[in-house]
Amino acid sequence: MMKFIWLIIITVIINGCGLANKEGTVAAVKEKNTYYPICIKNYTSNREILNEIFYKKPERVIAHHQNIMEALMAIDEEETIVGGAFAGTDTREFSAQYKDKVKRLPEINGFNFDLETVFMYRPDLIIGWQSTFSSRVLRSTDFWHKRGVNTYIVPNSNSILPIGTIEDEYRFLHDIGSIFNRQKETAMLINEIKDEVAYVQEQTKGRKQQRVLIIEFMGRGITTYDKTRLCGDMVKKLGGQLIECGRNIDAETLITLNPDVIFVVNAKGLLANDAAIEKVYNNKAFKNIRAVKNKRVYPIPLIFMYASGTRTMDGIKTFRDGLYPEMKGW
């Protein structure tokens, strides 16, 4: 009787995912009374909904961004990483708590992966941003599915979602926990972030809102981040008033907006934080901006506020300290 019930459960999972096939069904039945198979709602390269089925725990993973590698290290699955990629060149960019684990990672290739290298790693799962699965990087999700390789696209990457939120990072961590059967570990990570957000909200209730602008210097221009981005959601949830002013602005507009607090996005790694804010402080035209006069211009590393994963906590604390300097170190 139990065998029959288990077979029904397996069939429901496989058919619900729309990925039933003869080999997969056999594999699933062989693993009866175990955790797998599982179905994860994700996306294709074309941003379409995809139900990804995992018949077993991944053993050979390509982690195509630093935050993905750190998420796997956070749940003690770093040994599954056979190839990693991150934008920096210095492993000090990784969180200090993973210092020993980083040393055990295989060679990190920057973003210089080519198909020959990836095939050499023989992955059974590739985790990346939407841009990872493009013709100029690692090919499409369909390309890998045809070769028996699972894929997972981080939800908050490359505008997969029209509006990025902290909840989407909870979803990413939850999915990683589900894929690797590490739900207890990811639940702890999620609850820690939730508790921090709730604590800041409680401690700052009723305070006057700070007018906040999040900017990034792109060439000669200035790009802003609005409420549709993850970082915008962070600021709003922490009680800041995010200034809405269009995607691209010039120096004159920045002066006119006169924000109380400015966060400068640093996409070049944690070691370049000081250089990010110097572009504001060293520009004499900005000297009368309220944030500049009050020394409230802060760097915010890209990895803290874009598809941030476990670094979501770092992002929350960075925005918290900028909005409420007296809370720094709490």
CA distances from residue 302 to 34, 183, 246, 307, 322 in whole angstroms, order as listed: 39, 27, 20, 9, 16
Locate the domains of the chain by residue range.
Answer: 206-327
What does the mean pLDDT of the chain come to? 88
Residue 167: pLDDT over 90: yes
Beta bridge partners of 281: none
Structure letter (DSSP) for residue 319: H
Asked whether the beta carbons of 239 and 209 are under 8 A apart, the reply is yes
pLDDT at 204: 96
Give the Cα separation of 160 and 229 in Å (integer).
11
Q: What is the DSSP string of 170-230?
A: HHHHHHHHHHTT-HHHHHHHHHHHHHHHHHHHHHTTTPPPPEEEEEEEETTEEEE--TTSH
The tokens describing 329, both together, are: 């170190």
pLDDT tens digits, 46-71: 999 999 999 999 999 999 999 999 99
Q: Which amino acid is at 102?
A: V
State mean pLDDT over 292-310. 96
pLDDT tens digits, 130-156: 999 999 899 999 999 999 999 999 999
SS3 at position 17: helix
Backbone phi and psi for residue 320, each to the nearest 5 degrees, phi listed first: -60, -50
Backbone phi and psi for residue 165, each to the nearest 5 degrees, phi listed first: -135, 165
Which CATH superfamily does the domain covering 206-327 fall into?
Nitrogenase molybdenum iron protein domain (3.40.50.1980)
State mean pLDDT over 209-236. 95
The tokens describing 314, both together, are: 């770092």
Residue 8: pLDDT over 50: no
The tokens describing 126, both together, are: 């590739």
In sequence order, which residues have a C-beta less than 8 Å from that of residue 317 and are 6 or more positions away?
Answer: 196
SS3 at position 41: strand
Mean pLDDT lowest for which of 91-100, 290-299, 320-329? 91-100
Beta bridge partners of 198: none
Give the Cα separation of 262 and 323 in Å (integer).
10
